[in-house]
């Protein structure tokens, strides 16, 4: 018999006041607007957690790059 955790992180599901859900997985927090999407997301994560974690990390890296890019102020036009 082999022992070990099925997944690396604890999953915490919190219902919201608008019939949705917040889900915490490790340091990530996700929102789902209905129970069908929640169940599909959980199913996807449980079947292949490495794939979803890799995709999450890739998207986070892209967001960080966009946040670091300098933003130029638009020219001010006086009329």
- The residue extents of the domains of the chain are 11-66
Q: What is the pLDDT of residue 7?
A: 85
- Please state the rounded mean pLDDT for residues 9-19: 95
Q: Write the pLDDT tens digit of every residue in 64-73.
A: 887 777 777 7
Band of pLDDT at residue 3, cut at 50, 70 and 90 = confident
Instruction: Please state, rounded to an integer, the average pLDDT across all residues of the chain.
Output: 89
Residue from 64, 55, 53 nearest 26 by CA: 53
- Please state the rounded mean pLDDT for residues 44-73: 86
pTM over 0.85: no
5, pLDDT greater than 90? no
């Amino acid at each position: 018999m082999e022992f070990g955790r099925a997944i690396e992180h604890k999953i915490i599901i919190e219902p919201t006041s608008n019939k949705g859900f917040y889900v915490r997985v490790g340091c990530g927090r996700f929102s789902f607007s209905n129970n069908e999407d929640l169940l599909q997301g959980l199913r996807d994560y449980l079947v292949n957690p490495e794939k979803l974690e890799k995709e999450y990390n890739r998207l986070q890296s892209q967001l960080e790059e966009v946040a670091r890019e300098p933003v130029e102020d638009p020219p001010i036009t006086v009329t």
